Structure 1
Amino acid sequence: MSFKIAIIGAGSVGFTKKLFTDILCVPEFKGIEFALTDVSEHNLQMIKAILDRIVEANKLPTKVTATTDRRKALEGARYVISCVRVGGLEAYGDDIRIPLKYGIDQCVGDTICAGGILYGQRNIPVILDFCKDIREVAETDAKFLNYANPMAMNTWAAIEYGKVDTVGLCHGVQHGAEQIAEVLGAKSPRELDYVCSGINHQTWFIELRLNGREIGKDELVAAFEAHPVYSRQEKLRIDVLKRFGVYSTESNGHLSEYLPWYRKRPDEITRWIDMSDWIHGETGGYLRYSTETRNWFETEYPQFLEAASKPIDPSKRSNEHASHILEALETNRVYRGHFNVKNDGVITNLPQDAIVESPGFVDRFGINMAAGITLPEACAATCMSSINVQRMSVHAAISGDIDLLKLAVLHDPLVGAVSTPEEVWQMVDEMVVAQAAWLPQYAHAVPAAKERLSKSRVKTREWAGAARRSVRSIEELRAEKAALKQAG
């Protein structure tokens, strides 16, 4: 086969390499073209060198190009994959730092909450630029695969305003299923069948069968509580399972941002999280992890380049959806996965305009969603709180209406549990001023925001959060990796 895949934000080096090798595990795809694009020439050249080394080592006819000219990369592309982070770690740092001044302690801050909403404001104008280019220079009816967070907001904007055939992709469902299979003693995750439905990062395992046998709440609770690791790392998720009756896909730390009962008071945060890894609830955990990962890659790049000389092993193909979707569309080998799409009847008790994550099947006819799923009422209620915030956030990003943006942040469950309206209004002013370089739609509002900040009497505090760890040095990371290798 011969077609072109464009990857926007290809400087996300590790993830781009994973997608690349996954796709090349499909035998029919050996002769396709990958067009990489990013705003960073430096990152582009690093990832291109790695992918070129993979092509050379495996003696493939695959073509790899790299350019900072996005339209050139998109010309003639049949598939466009986005994994961008607008503003990079600099803006992400503000997403965590500024809300902390107002008592809002986030672990990730990339979906909703104050950080996720501002992340969406930065991304959505850029997503619409991508869509414009796709409509104008890509193949007719090109498919846009969005991996970038905030998943629901980005996908909502691309479908509703970008008018491009878009699907949002995440790996939370797969990771949650792997956990469940492990605690139930399965030899392989393939022994577990499930229906998982909701919205991105708030998706719920509403049906579970292990080798055909139905798994109920009590058995699942007992299995998690008996597990030597998850019983400690996933305390919050287990508590939600007990109360809601179903298990959530999202990690302990990330889930705590959407359910304010667990993260609104510092003493409660430390009760429910685990500090063995960032993902279990650490304050600004993903920011620290991302910073360390970037620093490690920059320093250890020669090792990454050397590792690229190894043969591609199809048995190690990941469970990221992208390669499997492309394989199904191009070869008609049917694939079942969980995808982010506009609701339109997929989930009966969520709004029809919302972006939902639910089961679907892919073949040459496209992505075909299973319709008519009804969530348990508590799950639907939790999703609704986020959907209302997402809808306002998307509309604010499109219109540049700072008052609507403030209302979106005010209605966020965790923000509303922690902050007063006066604090929210000042916090949003501060975040918009700090991130003005990435928020062109709010340029008209920045002078007035600065003026309000100069006169504000709302008190803030310099606070690192309830459970903060410092960014580790390269030397510390090397020592930790060496200790793990020796112990393992």
Structure 2
Amino acid sequence: MKQGPKVVVIGAGSYFFGKPVIYNMVHSPILNSGTLALVDTEPAVLETMMKIAERAGTHAGVPLRIIGSTDRREVLEGADFVVLSFSFRNACYRELDTRISRKYGVTMCSGDTIGPGGIFRALRELPEVLRIAQDVRELAPAAWLINFVNPTSVLGIGLMRHAPAVRSFALCDGNHEPYVRLMYLRKLGIIADDSEFTPEVDAKFDLRIAGVNHCTWILECRYDGRDLLPLLLEKTREAARHEYDRAPSPKAKPRLNANYELALMELYGAFPTAASHTKEYVPFFQGYGVTPVTPEPIICFDGYNRADEMAEAWAETEKLATGETPISRLFETGRGDHATDIIESMWGGLGKKFYINSANRGAVANLPDDAFLELRCELDMQGPRPLPAGEMPRGLLGLTHQVLDTHELTVEAAVSCDRKLLLRALATDPIVNNLGDARNIMNELLEAERDHLPAGWSR
């Protein structure tokens, strides 16, 4: 077997990504003879993740080489893959984005992809992503740059438009294969548990998901030729009824999602695969108008809870580094992350299919070839090749165009520091319905976040 790849992770202390990537790099025979380079600008965070990786490698007895640096340029040379998983003061800025937007009548339950929150997160993150891309072009020109930072679609568009010489695509963990297929097979009663998932079952299951990241939809769902969308609608109605048997979650993202799924599926005839996000992509749940909103207007992102959760998770991570928690626990409870599952398949030529965010290239027949979509793809070291997904139905087609227009305008505003383009992006956004409010949100957020925005915004 050939030697494993060199994988550079920028943002090694990621809330979601850090430990799973270590698990996969150590656990996979395809990856564990390679190099894992961990990068984090916080020395204490880097030290913690390095200790976990070293303990995991020793425990498994594998030859994985582990290196680390607070300066990415020290470890980029010779990289085969560069994974972006960084975020600066995530909970703090999302709370700021959502609170100021809510003041002007725009509510976001997540605030990391659409709405003013998604737009301003892109203003903060895209300049750094493009600087990293320039370093990759210089030091590792053959590498694949994989963006795992939200808003993944906006940053992916930014790389496609403004770093075309760098090989790149973008990811989200929402439609992670094979787990997403297993989930829907169980939900629809085709299998009772994962042990029944055989190649024969997989071959009979035609599941077509398409859309813009966090606004993706099941357009086709068939098993052995039978249309299962009516059954999925029935299951969604049942789940929505039972959701009221218990007190709704006080947290914004998971709250009443079966009921939001039902409302969206009955409206569009397709199933939203990420309701916790998609419910903030449409104006219907904002609370505008006269008639009461069903099931209820979405509630604002609870940033203070997010900070507490992240702090609690980091405390558990530190226990793995110090040995207070046995490193064997990582292997007992861990599973691979989306990015390194894909890297394993690409490097090992496994021929697996994954949901990737990249250019459409004809997969959705009634959207442009360069529309940046989340689609099931074949992929190898030459990159992703989207599989046919049919057509986006009317209604969703218009919403998808609007979301893509917002994202494209956001990219151009971010690279130019142009307030006119930024205002146009905000006004194009599907949940902003007042130009004066958009202007006020823009001005207040530019001032509140000036310390972490490019100097061009202060001109």
Q: Same fold (TM over 0.5)?
A: yes
* Contact 1:256 1:263 survives alignment (8 Å): no
Give the aligned partner of residue 33 of structure 1.
Answer: 35
* Contact 1:262 1:269 survives alignment (8 Å): no
Separation of aligned partners in 2, 1:182 and 1:229:
18
Unaligned stretches of 5+ residues in structure 1: 275-280, 446-488
Give 1:432 shift.
0.7
Matched ranges for 1:128-277 at <5 A: 128-138=130-140, 140-163=141-164, 164-174=166-176, 177=181, 179-185=183-189, 186-188=191-193, 190=197, 191=201, 192-210=205-223, 212-227=224-239, 233-251=257-275, 253-265=276-288, 271-272=294-295
Separation of aligned partners in 1, 2:300 and 2:180:
22
Matched ranges for 1:263-412 at <5 A: 263-265=286-288, 271-272=294-295, 282-285=299-302, 287-305=303-321, 306-307=324-325, 309-310=327-328, 313=331, 317-318=335-336, 320-371=337-388, 373-412=390-429
Give the aligned partner of residue 56 of structure 1.
Answer: 58
Normalised TM-score (structure 2): 0.86
Normalised TM-score (structure 1): 0.81
Amino acid in structure 2 at the alignment position of 1:309 = I
Give 1:129 shift.
0.3
Separation of aligned partners in 1, 2:345 and 2:173:
18
Q: Which of 421, 438, 445 pairs up with 1:424? A: 438
Give 1:104 shift.
1.3
CA 1:100–1:152 in structure 2 vs 1: closer, same or farther (change >3 Å)?
same
Using the aligned pairs only, state the percent identity: 24
Give the aligned partner of residue 119 of structure 1.
Answer: 121
Listed one character per residue, the Cα deviations across residues 114-150 of structure 1 (whole Å, up to 9, x for unaligned) are: 1000000111111100100000112x32101111110
CA 1:257–1:382 in structure 2 vs 1: closer, same or farther (change >3 Å)?
same
- SS at 1:326's partner residue? helix
Amino acid in structure 1 at the alignment position of 2:310 = R
CA 1:433–1:179 in structure 2 vs 1: closer, same or farther (change >3 Å)?
same
Q: Which of 109, 112, 127 pairs up with 2:111? A: 109
Give the aligned partner of residue 72 of structure 1.
Answer: 74
Give 1:258 shift.
0.4
Give the aligned partner of residue 247 of structure 2.
Answer: none
Separation of aligned partners in 1, 2:20 and 2:209:
25
CA 1:206–1:230 in structure 2 vs 1: closer, same or farther (change >3 Å)?
farther
- SS at 2:175's partner residue? helix
Unaligned stretches of 5+ residues in structure 2: 245-255
* Contact 2:101 2:441 survives alignment (8 Å): yes
Amino acid in structure 2 at the alignment position of 1:310 = S
CA 1:371–1:300 in structure 2 vs 1: closer, same or farther (change >3 Å)?
closer
- SS at 1:413's partner residue? coil
CA 1:236–1:267 in structure 2 vs 1: closer, same or farther (change >3 Å)?
farther
* Contact 2:403 2:429 survives alignment (8 Å): yes
Q: Which of 431, 438, 455 pairs up with 1:414? A: 431
- SS at 1:284's partner residue? coil
Separation of aligned partners in 2, 1:37 and 1:359:
30
Give 1:367 shift.
2.1
Q: More displaced, 292-301 or 192-201?
A: 292-301
Output the aligned Cα RMSD: 2.6
- SS at 1:258's partner residue? coil
Q: More displaced, 435-444 or 330-339?
A: 435-444
Give 1:89 shift.
2.8
Give 1:364 shift.
4.5
Q: More displaced, 111-120 or 265-274?
A: 265-274
* Contact 1:204 1:249 survives alignment (8 Å): yes
Give the aligned partner of residue 449 of structure 2.
Answer: 435
Give 1:283 shift.
1.7
Matched ranges for 1:477-488 at <5 A: none
* Contact 1:57 1:311 survives alignment (8 Å): no
* Contact 1:147 1:169 survives alignment (8 Å): yes
* Contact 2:23 2:334 survives alignment (8 Å): no
CA 1:308–1:438 in structure 2 vs 1: closer, same or farther (change >3 Å)?
farther
Matched ranges for 1:92-103 at <5 A: 92-103=94-105
Q: More displaced, 400-409 or 363-372?
A: 363-372
- SS at 2:146's partner residue? strand
Amino acid in structure 2 at the alignment position of 1:181 = L
Give 1:341 shift.
0.5
Give 1:60 shift.
2.0
